[in-house]
Structure 1
Amino acid sequence: MDWKVALDILVSILLVATIGYAVMLNSRLSSLRKNRDDLAKTIINFNEATVRAESSIPKLRKAAEEAGQALQERVEKAQSLRDDLAFMIERADTMANRLENSVRSARTEPRAGAPSSPTSSAAASAPPPPLPRGSGGRAAQQAALAAAAASAEAESDERSEAERELLRALQSMR
């Protein structure tokens, strides 16, 4: 065989391989061009979304600041109310202790100038009757307070100033 024929066969084989590679490269380039258009659309959409996000950041900051201020105002108002309630509770505890001490001292002190009739001393020192079970809670307490106030009015001559204040406070609670 002639070396020219062998060389022509070798060049032919290499040309066929080159043509095959060129066809494959052409198909990849065409798919890249097609995807490039899709990629460009995606990049444009991404840029638009970025612009919208950047424009909404100041609005979000403003909304967050307003919410923070509103929350701070509510916290301050709640702290003020808490302080007021703590003061009221403290005052109520002191007043209740004073009333309790004055009632206790009035019951233990012998009454000067008061006739010591057995019925009036027994009624004055007797605790209010116990409430029956299941008697309705608050309504039963109010009824018991009304009964105590009625009996207190009958014995108001013999009551000390502290007991009268206590009865007035109980009546004002109704």
Structure 2
Amino acid sequence: MDWKIILDLVVSVLLVATIGYAVMLNQRLTALRKNRDDLAKIIVSFNEATVRAETAIPKLRKAAEDAGQSLQDRVEKAQSLRDDLAFMIERADTMANRLENAVRSARTEVRTGPATATSAPAKESGRMAPPPERAPGASPRAATMAAAAAADMDVDERSEAERELLRALQSMR
């Protein structure tokens, strides 16, 4: 065969391959352009989200500061209430000890004999004389009994704290 024909055939085959490759390359470029448009839309939405986040940061800081201040106020109020409750518990314990000692002294008086003249005016007034300090190891049962003894007092003559203490002791029964 003639060399020219073989050479033309080889060039024709290479041209067909080049055309096929160009078609494939065109399809990929079209897909890239389409993806580029999608990528541009994603970038725009990302920029918008970034701007919204930047504007929300000061609001979040303000909300965090407000919540922190509110929490601090509540903690301070709770500590104040804790201190008040500790004081009230201490006072209630002192009053319970007095009541318990009053019952103990009343029992002793009943066992030893009739009531003395010094305890009669105290009973008439509805109040017991301040008892001696609480004995170590005294039971809460004695405090309940003291509350029962104190229940004999006139309700109008009791202070509010005494009435609350009696209610608390009676609820413990």
TM beyond 0.5: yes
Unaligned runs of 5+ in 1: 115-154
Task: From 166, 170, 174, give the equivalent of 2:150.
Answer: 166
Distance 1:113 1:30, change over 3 A: closer
* Aligned equivalent of 2:116: 112
Give the structure-1-normalised TM-score: 0.66
| In 2: Cα distance, 1:75 partner to 1:89 partner | 21
Aligned length: 134
* Aligned equivalent of 1:36: 36
Q: Return structure 1 stretches of 4+ with deviation > 6 angstroms.
A: none
| In 2: Cα distance, 1:16 partner to 1:35 partner | 29
| In 1: Cα distance, 2:96 partner to 2:23 partner | 102
Distance 1:83 1:41, change over 3 A: same
Unaligned runs of 5+ in 2: 131-145, 168-173
| In 1: Cα distance, 2:78 partner to 2:10 partner | 94
Cα pair 1:99 1:166 within 8 Å, conserved: yes
Distance 1:169 1:11, change over 3 A: farther
* Aligned equivalent of 1:76: 76
Deviation at 1:102, TM superposition (A): 2.2
Deviation at 1:41, TM superposition (A): 1.4
Alignment RMSD: 3.1
Identity score, percent: 71
